[in-house]
């Protein structure tokens, strides 16, 4: 199952600043662009840091002369925490949460920025309609991953909470179905009410069946 990546939600129009820019100029830039931060790039266009409104407010001197003389390179956060176009949205969200950032520069392998991804961008995943989640769980998990008859498995979705009901052939498939369903983007919680026909977990020496993926 293909997971959506940062590239599908990022903003490609990147506003960047230089380490040599004055705080006053960057404050003006952020205000004009209505953004809360920007990547700081060196002379070769590679991201070397990030500057945010919080950095500027913490460090901007009161006097106009000193403000013009204070450079972004002195107050930026470095090294920059970045992501890549191919990173999954879920992983980008975890990175933002881990560092407490509202946005991440999206960079290519050479360090040059190609976009910006924000909290609002990654939250789009969790605003996926219930009907779309239900369709994806049924098709990608029940049919393609577990090879089960969708007529035997009921998938109910309400506000991102998925409830699974029905019977599966083997007990070992119950936690697998729950784990795979939880991996679908937009799923907030899984309520597992699946039953099974045979308890294959009661025989520790018997090989357990694996969930098999196939192409359709």
Comparing 62 with 102, the larger pLDDT belongs to 102
> Taking the mean position of all CA atoms in its chain, how far away is CA 92?
4
Q: What angle do CA 8, 94, 103 make, to 5 degrees?
A: 60
**In this model, does residue 61 exceed pLDDT 70?**
no
Q: What is the mean pLDDT of the segment spanning 53-58?
A: 82
Question: Three-state secondary structure along 103-169?
Answer: EEEEECCCCCEEEEEEHHHHHHHHHCCHHHHHHHHHHHHHHHHCCCCCCCEEEEEECCEEEEEEEEE
151-164 pLDDT, tens per residue?
Answer: 999 999 998 899 99
pLDDT at 212: 45
Determine the topology of domain 6-125 in CATH. CBS-domain (3.10.580)
pLDDT at 207: 54
In degrees and rounded to multiples of 5, residue 99 shows phi and psi of -100, -5
The reported pTM is 0.62
Predicted confidence band at 209 (pLDDT cuts at 50, 70, 90)? low
Percent of the chain with pLDDT over 70: 88
Q: What radius of gyration do the chain's Cα atoms show?
A: 24
Please tell me the distance from the alpha carbon of residue 64 to that of residue 58, in angstroms, as a whole number: 15
For the segment(s) 128-202, the CATH number from 3.30.1340.30, 3.60.9.10, 3.30.479.30, 3.90.950.10 is 3.30.1340.30
pLDDT at 192: 97
Please tell me the distance from the alpha carbon of residue 136 to that of residue 129, in angstroms, as a whole number: 11
Domains of the chain, by residue range, sit at 6-125, 128-202
Q: pLDDT averaged over the chain?
A: 86
CB 77 within 8 Å of CB 55: yes
CB 82 within 8 Å of CB 107: yes
pLDDT at 141: 95
Q: What is the mean pLDDT of the segment spanning 18-30?
A: 92
Please tell me the distance from the alpha carbon of residue 178 to that of residue 158, in angstroms, as a whole number: 16
Residue 82 DSSP label: -
Kind and range of the H or E run holding 198: strand 189-198
Percent of the chain with pLDDT over 90: 57
**In this model, does residue 57 exceed pLDDT 90?**
no
3-state secondary structure of 196: strand
pLDDT at 1: 56
65-123 pLDDT, tens per residue?
Answer: 444 448 899 999 999 999 999 998 878 888 988 888 889 999 999 999 999 999 888 88
């Amino acid at each position: 199952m293909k997971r959506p990546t940062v590239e599908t939600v990022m903003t490609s129009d990147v506003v960047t600043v230089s380490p040599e820019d004055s705080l006053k100029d960057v404050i003006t830039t952020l205000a004009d662009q209505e953004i809360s931060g920007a990547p700081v790039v060196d002379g070769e266009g590679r991201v070397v840091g990030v500057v945010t409104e919080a950095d500027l407010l913490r460090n901007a001197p009161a006097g106009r002369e000193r403000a013009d003389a204070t450079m972004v390179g002195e107050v930026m956060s470095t090294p920059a925490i970045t992501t890549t176009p191919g990173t999954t949205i879920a992983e980008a969200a975890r990175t933002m949460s881990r560092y407490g950032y509202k946005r991440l520069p999206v960079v290519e392998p050479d360090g040059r920025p190609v976009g910006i991804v924000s909290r609002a961008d990654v939250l789009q995943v969790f605003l996926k309609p219930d009907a779309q989640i239900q369709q994806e769980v049924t098709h990608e998990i029940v049919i393609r991953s577990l090879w089960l008859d969708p007529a035997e498995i009921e998938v109910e979705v309400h506000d991102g909470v998925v409830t699974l009901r029905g019977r599966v052939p083997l007990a070992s498939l119950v936690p697998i179905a729950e784990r795979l369903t939880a991996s679908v983007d937009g799923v907030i919680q899984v309520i597992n009410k699946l039953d099974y026909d045979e308890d294959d977990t009661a025989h520790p020496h018997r090989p357990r069946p694996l969930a098999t993926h196939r192409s359709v």
